[in-house]
Structure 1
Amino acid sequence: MSRTAPTRHLATQAASQPANRLATRLVLGFGLLAGIALSGPAQAGKKPFSYFVTGDATAAVQTLAPAAPSLVLMGGGPDVDEAFRWMITRAGVRPGTGGRFVVIRATGTEAYDPYIFHSDANGSTTGPAIDGWVGGAALGLSSVETLVVPSLAAANDPGVSEVLAKANAVFIAGGDQADYIKSWKGTALDRTLQQLMARNVPVGGTSAGLAVLGQFDFAALRGTVTTDQTLSNPYNRYVTLDPSPLALTGGFIAPPALAGTITDSHLDTRDRMGRLIGFMSRLVQPSPSSAGSFGCAGGVLPATQVRGIGIGVETAVLVEGQGNAAPYSYTARRVTNVSTTTESAAYFLRTLQAPTACASGQPLTVLSVEVRKLADDTVFNLSDWTGLPAYHVDAISGALTSNPY
């Protein structure tokens, strides 16, 4: 899915920027130079990326380094205000400290910037945010910045890394994850992201941005794929996974908290549980036995080590590292908006046994996939996969045998 702005804010952002705030937004065709605002259209040919600022990107920042990792896994659709506030707080930002929140995307606009920075449609930078706004300035942010990075050349441009390296929190917007895999993976942008994560800078993503946060990713290099297509043939040409060929190393972002994990968004509204089970099955390594050959050709993990996280729309899972030094343990909790109109659930899946039928051109059979559903304030333990009751789903001859939700 490609979005040009956070869904809940399309109507307000274009119409709610008074003239006295225009000077706070820099639109540049290249990196920030001594805080000078330059016209985007006039400079568009100079560098292969675009850069936008709401607030003051030159302000001093005096935050303390985060003690543990933080991830936001957002399921697409309406953005979850509280998840952004949590990222800001986890970044060590407080009123008076300053802080830089950077959004990265391959296409689209700076629509996230005013939404995250301001507390309401009138551009308030003080007081609690109303529903539909984050209120980052009131929480202590000095700027929200967007980098539109559409190509390999842009991702390798020093100006992108210059901006990104100073981020106190990073969010990957929706769009097309194929753009992120093709244009960002293995670049200077990728290396900068890894350096930020090593410093426990909070990182989040929604929709396509969520898709690239697992150790393994649905890369969508040939477009999207449905549940029916995936279950009827888990090697369907549209089931493109990263890394390719599958390997235990060489993924894109691959935060330690999501080891052995592949993610999916819009899970319930687009009925993607079956395709997530198909993606997970592809990760299971072959395991010949006296009863036959189980697993999937090209798989790289034992069945009991394969995990999936599927997230519904208007849902965010907050992944929090526990402890003061690596290796961390991780917990997860779910947040949504007060105005949500959906169930806003997250699902944690695990294969308990290898698929018994997994071959190119043939329907998938995999039994007893464990599902744990999070639709309340329960804290789930990602490290030992406990904290929620489990139920089980079978896929037999390319069809789920029960309602997986």
Structure 2
Amino acid sequence: MSSNAFLHAIVRLGQRVAGAAAIALASGLATTPVLADPIFEVAKPVPLYSYFAVGNVNAVVTAPASRPTPSFVLMGGGPDVDVAFRWLIQRAGITPGTGGRFVVIRATGTDAYNPYIFYSDESLSTSATIANEWVGGASLGLSSVETLVIPSVKAANSAAVNAIVAKANVVWIAGGDQSHYIRFWKGTALEQTLKALMQKNVPIGGTSAGLAVLGQFDYSALYRSATSELSMLDPYYKDITFDPSPLSLSGGFIAPPALESLILDSHFDSRDRMGRFVTFLSRIVAPVSTPGGTLGCSGGVLPAASSGSKTVRGIGIGVETALLVQGQGEGRPVTATRVTNPTTTSESAVYFVRPSVPPTKCAPRTPLSIANVEVRKLADSNTVFNLTDWTGVPVYRYVDVNTGQLLPTDWY
């Protein structure tokens, strides 16, 4: 295997999703005629942020600065889906000759996305013939791919950081830890810059943790990652944290209007996340008084129903899977299609989940009970799903949580 091929294999194994930048240490040794002094390690100053670029960041860009309708890529983690990145470039109005800036933002990690998106193959060519596991952005018209590692509130408020992001024709939020995005980026100049780009319908995408922060409601994972088993046994246990907190119909991090009423989750099938996802959705269901008592969850803000756009809904996305979401214009629905890589070995499915009725039992330190949760499954790339009306594929099955147990267990 060539050195470039080896490096790219490492990237595909997860360097783009996680990874931490190392801090270099300088060592010095002083001696006396009798005894050696201890070795002192002096840490170099840690930069406020890190910036990496490939291509020509000073190129004149004639691609449009705004688009008529919004575009989002919702990716479920694992191997990146090459065609989804090409779709973002196309939706940005970038073509050969226009130039365009693709900006990756993350709180930890490396610049590993830059060569993957910009080049066409392991030889780092810009050929119009694009190999599998490469995006070929330069051949499609990109003039640069730029990565910003933004690890603090101070960095997210940096004028230099925001100047780079503000010029983006496409923004990608990498994987990692979504709690960093909520802790470091929410309420900062960076959030306002991202919202300004969304107002111009600049295409935005995210994978794994980057996906998690694209809904109206976000699972913020401020502590450990919640498991399905513990979530269903106690829907208020400490690892279930949301943004906004407390739950509200406003105030969430970026909260794209095209993804209204949604919460999103990744690695859905490989990590058996249906149980925790039903719990997340249940927590968003507002309390309802009935002759038999109160249903729903304390602190919930939306109704459970089998129709209507302003109801509790969620999308769970499998690994190596991307949902391409696009607006169709004023008064028309937001639609979505699913894509994956031709070499995928997983089913690469998307699950559209909606509680049709409120939970009958939802209280702290009490097992959850909720019935008739609709699950729609999309596992092909030909069907168009209507996110506004929640139509396009029929109900695949109904799942229940009965005193903390998910039924059926083979929901996938």
Fold-level similarity (TM above 0.5): yes
3-state SS of paired residue (1:334): strand
Question: Which secondary structure state, in structure 2, belongs to the residue aligned with residue 303 of structure 1?
Answer: coil
Q: Which position in structure 2 is the counterpart of 1:59?
A: 59
User: 1:351 offset after TM fit, Å?
Assistant: 1.0
Q: Which amino acid aligns with 1:316?
A: A
Alpha-carbon distance change, 335 to 13 in structure 1, aligned in 2, over 3 angstroms:
closer
Q: Matches of residues 16-165 of structure 1 in structure 2 within 5 Å?
A: 45=45, 47-64=47-64, 65-165=66-166
Q: What does 1:6-405 align with in structure 2 at a 5 Å threshold? A: 9-11=8-10, 45=45, 47-64=47-64, 65-304=66-305, 305-323=311-329, 326=330, 329-377=333-381, 378-390=383-395, 391-402=397-408, 403-405=410-412
Distance 2:291 2:7 in 1: 55
Separation in 2, partners of 1:215, 1:69: 15
Q: 1:112 to 1:216 in 2, by over 3 A?
A: same
User: 2 CA distance for matches of 1:140 and 1:258?
Assistant: 28
Counterpart contact for 2:315–2:351, Cα < 8 Å: yes
* Cα contact 1:8–1:78 (8 A) shared by 2: no
Shift of 1:47: 5.0
Alpha-carbon spacing, 1:199–1:354, altered in 2? closer, same or farther (3 Å): same
Q: In structure 2, give the amino acid aligned to 1:222.
A: Y
**What residue identity is the alignment partner of 1:152?**
V
Separation (CA, whole Å) in 2 of partners of 1:312 and 1:286: 31
Q: CA deviation at 1:131?
A: 0.5
Q: Deviations over 1:287-339 (max 9, x none)?
A: 0110211000000111120001000000000001102xx45521000000011
**Contact 2:11 / 2:112 at 8 angstroms: preserved in 1?**
no
Secondary structure of 2:108's match? coil
> Deviation at 1:10?
4.1
Misfit runs of 4+, over 4 Å: 44-47
Aligned letter for 1:382? L
**Whole-Å Cα distance in 1 between the matches of residues 403 and 250 of structure 2?**
31
Q: Amino acid of the residue matched to residue 59 of structure 1?
A: A
- CA RMSD in angstroms comes to 1.6
Assess, with a 3 A threshold, how the Cα gap between structure 1 residues 79 and 8 changes in structure 2: closer, same or farther. Answer: farther
Q: How many residues align?
A: 368
Of 125-134 and 72-81, deviating more is 125-134
AA aligned opposite 2:128: G
Query: Which residue identity is paired with 1:156?
Result: N
Q: Distance in 2 between matches of 1:46 and 1:235?
A: 38
Aligned amino acid, residue 348 of structure 2: S
1:221-273 Cα distance to aligned partner (Å, 9 max, x none)? 01201000111111010001111011110100211121111000000000001
| Identity value in percent | 59
SS at match of 2:102: strand
The CA deviation string for residues 135-185 of structure 1, in whole angstroms up to 9 with x for no partner, is: 000000000000000000000000110000000000000000000000000
- Provide the rounded CA distance (Å) in 1 between the counterparts of 2:11 and 2:221: 31
TM-score, L = length of structure 2: 0.87
2: CA distance, partners of 1:46 / 1:77: 30
| Partner AA of 1:372 in structure 2 | R
**Separation of aligned partners in 2, 1:235 and 1:131:** 44
Q: Counterparts of 1:195 and 1:144 in 2: how far apart (Å)?
A: 20
In 2, are the aligned partners of 1:47 and 1:154 still within 8 Å (CA)? no
CA distance in 2, matches of 1:183, 1:12: 25
Q: Secondary structure at the match of 1:297?
A: coil
| Partner amino acid, structure 1, of 2:263 | I
Secondary structure of the residue aligned to 2:147 is strand
Stretches of structure 2 lacking an aligned partner (at least 5 in a row): 1-5, 14-43, 306-310
Change in CA separation of 1:271 and 1:8 when aligned onto 2, cut-off 3 Å: farther
Match of 2:27 in 1: none
Change (3 A) 1:155 1:327: farther
Question: What are the Cα deviations for residues 201-237 of structure 1, in whole angstroms up to 9, with x where unaligned?
Answer: 0000000000000000110001201000111111010
